[in-house]
Amino acid sequence: MTEPSDTTADLLIMNASIIDGTGSPRFDGAVAIKGEKISAVLNSQQTDFPQSLNTQIANSKSVFDAKGLVLSPGFIDAHTHDDRLLLSDPLMMPKLSQGVTSVIAGNCGISLAPMTSAFTSGVIAPLNLLDESGEWFQFKDFQSYIQALRARPAALNCALLVGHTTLRVLAMKDLNLEASELEIELMREHVTEALQAGAIGVSTGLYYEPAVAASAKEVMEICRPLSHYGGVYCTHMRDEADGILQSLDESFLIGREINVPVIISHLKIVGVNNYGKSPQALAHIEAHQSRQEICFDCYPYPASSTILSHDRAVTASRVIVTWSKPLPEMAGMDLSHIAQKLQLSEQDSIKRLVPAGAIYFRMDEGDVQNILSHPQVMIGSDGLPHDQFPHPRLWGSFTKVLGHYSRGLGLFPLESAVRKMTSTTAKNFRLKGRGEIREGYYADLTLFDPEKVDSSSSYENPISRSIGIHGVWVNGVLAYQDGQATGQCAGQVLSH
């Protein structure tokens, strides 16, 4: 009996069709995992392949036969609101079941930390998308939030942004005003604390009421520490409809002034008058990329989802209510149907329903496909995990891109689809050692059936596990297999 030597792998996944995340064509081969990292990648086209495979088989503690399946890097969800889910439901099934192994949380200006307010008269929207009760807003600084995540890890990795709207609610007396110098100073100190604790950037949601009064100058002054710590600036822009080009300019200006990369969240063009304008928006981004770093994510649906309000409802061709505090039984119903039931106008029905959330159909499918097809796009779900009847993007964004858009419509090859959800995202968010199948990289891996993989969530039945995901490994640990979480929680908090 010999003790396993240092070169012994814990697991060998063999007979896989490997899509490495870079966009390169797939190849047949095997991947060896030791501890939390990939220790070898074998390509069957290499001349010494049979010999190295035999050595790896002999030296591996266990062997997994992946015949007929694709092995890719685990998917990275570029845009989430999973801040609380990571703690309240650490198995993270909506994401794990799609093959996601890392999430970027704290988007759209709303992060769970830091917050100390008691919220005596209800949690201010849109912070209530994270937690309507207010109980989870319990971390006075970012350090204590990250400590809680490390003390009880989730099944997948997370990287965290600190939200400008959260900071405004925390630091400001009157949200209808621009921040005073003193308030800016206080918010900037919180940003520094968050970045020192491990946050990877700041997000804004200038579209939402509590941040509308903030000027570009306010945002720049608060975000100044980003460049020193290598952080990124992510933004849910002020206007995604008629004023989209001006909002892009505002975002670029903020990034240039403080010398940090700009990430445009869920790039879309809203409103029937703007249908078909995605080429202009994309050209505008491309025209500025020679001057500064700019990237963007997108979710693969022509409907958005956020809090319910009359202003938003009037811009949509159809509205589905996703949750309502006073009338929870209405979740999942169309607003037009609810209005009939209540015998009220839609506007008066909304008054009865709020606080509430909704899905809004107000984009053009052609624009969605055009943005998804762009070589630089990242896939982000923007899923809202605490909605009673969520937008189907929560459970289906990644597998819909693989199944419907890549295999079904043939919009782009599977290799490109995987790149949009792996290496592109890791590079843009500066997640080292993630997003590719490469020796020395972390063993975040997803195994799926390329002929079957697809989303099964829909507007009618949104909570549904994807089809064709056979296995998900996070930091070398099997987290999901054949439709079930294994219960293993090896997720890490990722920082620069």
Binding site for Zn ion (CB under 5 A): 108, 236
Contacts of 117 (CB under 8 A, 6+ apart): 137, 169, 170
Place of tokens 């300019």: 249
* 203/423 with CB nearer Zn ion: 203
Closest distance of CB 264 from Zn ion, Å: 11
Residue 11 or residue 368: which is nearer to Zn ion going by CB?
A: 368
CA angle 380/384/389 to nearest 5° reads: 130
For helices 278-288 and 365-373, what crossing angle results, to 10°?
A: 30
Cβ-based nearer residue to Zn ion, 80 or 278: 80
- Closest separation in Å from C-beta 105 to Zn ion: 12
Residue 205 or 435: the one with the smaller Cβ distance to Zn ion is 205
CB of 239 to Zn ion, least distance (A): 13
Minimum distance between the CB of residue 104 and Zn ion, rounded to whole angstroms?
Answer: 12
Of 386 and 407, the one with the shorter C-beta distance to Zn ion is: 386
Closest approach of Cβ 398 to Zn ion, in Å?
Answer: 18
DSSP codes joined into one string, 404-447: IIIIIT-SS-HHHHHHHTTHHHHHHTT-TT-SS--TTSB--EEE
Task: Give the containing element (helix H, strand E) for 31.
Answer: strand 27-34
C-beta of 56 vs 381, nearer to Zn ion: 381
Burial class (CB in 10 A: 0-12, 13-18, 19+), 232: buried
Residues 138 and 385: their CA atoms lie apart, in Å, by: 19
Cα separation, 428 vs 431, in Å, equals: 8
Q: How far apart are CA 481 and CA 51, in angstroms?
A: 30
Q: How far apart are CA 127 and CA 306, in angstroms?
A: 11
Q: Which is nearer to Zn ion, 9 or 108 (CB)?
A: 108
Tokens of residue 236, six digits? 């849910």
Rounded-to-integer distance, Cα 26 and Cα 70, Å? 9
| Residue (108 or 262) nearer to Zn ion, CB | 108
Pick the closer one to Zn ion by CB: 108 or 123: 108
For residues 110 and 130, the answer to whether their CB atoms sit within 8 Å is yes
Which CB atom, from 26 or from 238, has the smaller least distance to Zn ion?
Answer: 238
Amino acid letter for position 145: Y
139: helix, strand or coil:
coil
CA 2 vs CA 6, 20, 54: distances in Å: 12, 34, 18
Tell me how far, at minimum, the Cβ of 412 lies from Zn ion, in Å. Answer: 24
Shortest separation between residue 42's beta carbon and Zn ion, angstroms: 42
Q: Locate tokens 């209530």: which residue?
A: 128
How far apart are CB 90 and Zn ion at their closest, in Å?
Answer: 24
In terms of Cα–Cα distance, which of 363, 401, 367, 366 is closest to 381? 401
Q: Cβ contacts of residue 51 below 8 Å, gap of 6+?
A: none
Q: Which is nearer to Zn ion, 391 or 407 (CB)?
A: 391
Minimum distance of Zn ion from residue 317's CB (angstroms): 20
Measured from the CB of residue 161, what is the shortest distance to Zn ion in angstroms? 12
CB 76 within 8 A of CB 104: yes
In the bound complex, what is the minimum distance in angstroms from residue 112's beta carbon to Zn ion?
15
